[in-house]
Amino acid sequence: MPLSAGSPAPDFSLPDENGEIRHLSDYRGKVVVLYFYPKDDTPGCTTEACKFRDSYEDYQKAEVSIVGISPDPVKKHQKFKAKYDLPFTLLSDEDHSVCESYGVWGRKKFMGKEYDGVFRTTFIIGKDGKILHVFENVKPEGHSQEILKVLAEIDA
């Protein structure tokens, strides 16, 4: 079960696509869209990332940072980011410890097979480090616009 609105967002230390260690606390004082996704360069994850890329200017105008997290290794993130010209940070959670701390790691079913993996989930984290909104069971198509709409309501 993921964290809920009002909860403090757990801090973390993870390598980005260049191997530089990033912390959630580095973003304190900014609103962050923290999105968890299963795997680089798969249809749904590519759609989701590219929609964020296509709306990136809107996020910049709103002074909102976008950070993606998946269990993929740093090198895979680097290739994914370059291939699709993604202008935001991707973090590598290979041991899925951050996914677990956010409640987005667990048993999944796909085509009759069961496995452990990431539940596609997005958190909007406020400037104070508290969760403002949680999107569960995210559908990649239209998700970026859905987030922008909620961000506009939060600011209103």
Structure tokens at 50: 């590219």
Backbone phi, then psi, for 71, in 5-degree steps?
Answer: -75, 0
What is the end-to-end Cα distance of the chain in Å, rounded? 29
Give strand pairing partners of 15.
Answer: 21
Q: What H or E segment, with its residue span, contains residue 49?
A: helix 43-54
Which residues participate in catalysis according to the annotation? 45
Contacts of 54 (CB under 8 A, 6+ apart): 144
Strands 13-15 and 105-110, by their bridges, are: unpaired
Q: Which residues pair with 66 in a beta bridge?
A: 33
Q: Are 105 and 117 in contact (CB under 8 A)?
A: yes
Handedness of CA 21, 50, 143, 136 (dihedral sign): negative
